[in-house]
Amino acid sequence: MPVSFRSVRRTQLVADLRAPPSRMDVLIAVYREIHPPLVTLLCISGTIGHILSIATLSSMLNPTNLLLISMSGSQLVLCVNYLYTILFKFGTDTLCLASLWGWGWTASFLVSVNLSVMVHMTGVFHVVALSIVRYFSLKRISEVSSTLPWFTYQKSTVSLVIIYVSMLIVCGPIYFHSEIREVPFHETCASKFPDLNGTVAYELSVRNHALQQINFWLFGSICKLIPCLVLFIMTFFILDRLKRIRHINERFGSHERDRRYDRTTKMILIIMLVFIMVELPQGIMAVLQSVTQLSGMQELGDLFEMLTLLTSCIIFALLCSMNSSLRNELYRLFCRRFQRWTDNRRHRKTKGTCVELAYLVNGNEKKAIRMSPSTSVGC
């Protein structure tokens, strides 16, 4: 028998009505109210940020930036998809728009649910690939007296193919996890608006409980815990290689190269640690959910959803805050778009203002502001 996603939640609500609310219940109720606007704000911020990131990195194209563009693209789809989910739930459960209860809209919501898992896993796999690429880049620098990049466009393309094919294979069982079924009325809205009682609606339900447990285990172990373990190990490997490079640079006095690789490596390490802190608890909870029934999963799911979107916004902030080349190109991008709308006299004035703005924010020398658009992030 198919089981509604709302059945567990309904049982919890009945139990809550029988007991006086505790402080935790109050906090949960407060967060439940602020969760939709908070997630909406994060979705909009992440969408704008990753659009700017993709536009900027596209003008600085190289094999490593191609990997970063793909990662930003997956995060962009994640933010847009979450925004659609929030708006859909608001329309169906809060506004009680019966037109959204049809089979077509419910099918679009099912696609959105599956897509959110897929793009989320794609982002995790991108970070794992980025850590591996960074390690071998540092290994080449520490062992070979050459600054020529080893990560070519061919290797970048192969990495992206492996990432997306792995995602499609690993997420395979998730496609069969849910199904659309017809119900005599919309449970949430029928209690709010008695006139809607008897209006046929469609909703998602679990297709098979055994498959649900398998998906929880698969999602928690292969898609969460194992990538976190790889990132944790790669963190120590990268730090060890970075230590060797610093020792070599101290011997040969190559401090400029040391600063450049140290800055980029710090950015990648922070992204790795952020993903570990966000993904590891989710993986543990998913694995536990596969072997036992846990309470409060709805609230934890909302919290993890918010943290996932926050991570997506942090990625863009890290890319901009820890790489002057990316910031300079971002300022140039704004300047070029703005200067098209001005006359020649205003054009010259605005150009100077934009260069000064980048000059003040970055605190770099003039030669850093006038770097060519092909300057890479450096990997």
Strands (E), the chain: 3-4, 178-183, 201-206
Please state the φ and ψ torsions of residue 294, each to the nearest 5 degrees. -105, 145
C-alpha to C-alpha distance for 353 and 348, rounded to whole angstroms: 9
Per-residue confidence (pLDDT) for residue 364, from 0 to 100: 47
Domain boundaries, the chain: 3-322, 324-379
Report the distance separating Cα 278 and Cα 274, nearest Å: 6
Cα(198)–Cα(73) distance, integer angstroms: 43
Q: Can you tell me the distance from the alpha carbon of 357 to that of 351, in angstroms, rounded to the nearest whole number?
A: 10
CATH class of 3-322: mainly alpha
- Determine the residue type at 295: S
CA separation for the pair 327, 322 (Å, rounded): 9
**Got the DSSP string for 86-100?**
HHHHIIIIIS--GGG
User: Can you read off the two tokens belonging to residue 184?
Assistant: 């005599």
State the pLDDT at residue 353: 52
CA distance 235 to 169: 27
CB atoms within 10 A of CB 337: 10
pLDDT at site 158: 93
Cα–Cα distances in angstroms (integers) from residue 253 to residues 143, 240, 259, 339, in the given order:
16, 20, 12, 43
Return the pLDDT at 322. 61
Which residues on neighbouring strands pair with residue 202, listed in sequence order?
A: 182
| Residues in a beta bridge with 178 | 206
In which residue ranges of the chain is pLDDT below 50? 1-9, 13-17, 354-379
